[in-house]
Amino acid sequence: MIKRRLYFNGRAGESAAAAVATMSSALVRDEAVEWEMRPGGMLVQKRGQNVDDPAPSLRVRVAYGALRYEISVNSRSTFGELKKLLTAETGLQPGEQKLIYRGKDRENGQYLDICGVKDRAKVILTEDPGSKERRFIEMRKNARIQTVQRAIAEVSMDVDKLAEQVSTIEKSVANGNKVPEVQITTLIEMLMRLAVKLDSISAEGESSSRKNLLGKRVQKCVETLDVLKVSNAGVKPVIVTTKWETFDPPPATARWEFFD
């Protein structure tokens, strides 16, 4: 078997080395990204061309699952600005989006033209997995809050009805009218049941404040009934009697006048 040996100290070696150096520099230019800070504080890709020249508009085709969008955008826009335009179409916030171009995730501050985006170029949009999980957690949290609010609202409606009855009894006792004691006792028991039901509701935040206010209202109604129970025991029942008016009976005989 004949073995061939390559020597890179000759012209052939110099040509091969030059080719390798050219390829390496091209890869470095493609991967290296320089950044600069905009006056507003946004970190963007550093531009190496004259930004005073008018920039053409591009029609970027965006694939989002089975959906397709065509977005008109300035060629010197950033991928972050493209995300803002896609928010109106997809409903996804910029922080929930990932844009992939030529197989790479693109940063918000990278410019379209510097990354090689041409007219009618295809960009793939995917939803950030972390944002999807956060949205799912937020949906579960909102559903739990709505369930708690409905439960508190139901108790509040029942308390409203019983509070009206407490007010009626209070007015009746204040006017000196005795109320059956069983009516007061029954109201107290019903209010205590609502207090137990309210206490079993696990609430937080605004719902917790509403729950506490409703609990104080129930307690106030019970305390009012306890006071009315004592006052009502001292009220004497009113006995209504009717005084009849008597009239004298008419005379038994009538006086007649005679005519000739």
Task: Find the distance separating the first CA and the last CA of the chain, reported in whole Å.
Answer: 185
pLDDT in tens, 112-131: 999 999 999 999 999 888 88
pTM of the model as a whole: 0.51
The pLDDT value given to residue 66: 92
* Residue 53 three-state SS: coil
Decide if 122 contacts 128 (C-beta within 8 A).
no
The pLDDT value given to residue 171: 92
In this prediction, residue 44 has a pLDDT band, given cuts at 50, 70 and 90, of low
Beta strands in the chain (DSSP E): 35-37, 43-45, 57-64, 67-74, 97-101, 104-105, 122-127
Q: Above 50 in pLDDT, residue 3?
A: no
Cross-strand bridge partners of residue 231: none
pLDDT in tens, 181-217: 999 999 999 999 999 999 999 998 889 999 999 999 9
Q: Above 70 in pLDDT, residue 10?
A: no
The pLDDT value given to residue 20: 41
Helix axes 129-174, 181-199, angle to 10 degrees: 170
Extract the tokens encoding 221: 């109604």
pLDDT in tens, 16-40: 444 444 444 444 444 455 666 655 5
Extract the tokens encoding 193: 């049941």
Q: Above 90 in pLDDT, residue 162?
A: yes
Q: How far is CA 199 from the centre of its chain?
A: 25
Mean pLDDT for the chain overall: 80
The pLDDT value given to residue 23: 42
The pLDDT value given to residue 189: 95
The pLDDT value given to residue 133: 83
The pLDDT value given to residue 158: 95
Contacts of 198 (CB under 8 A, 6+ apart): 152, 155, 211, 214, 215, 218
Strands 57-64 and 67-74: antiparallel
The pLDDT value given to residue 129: 82
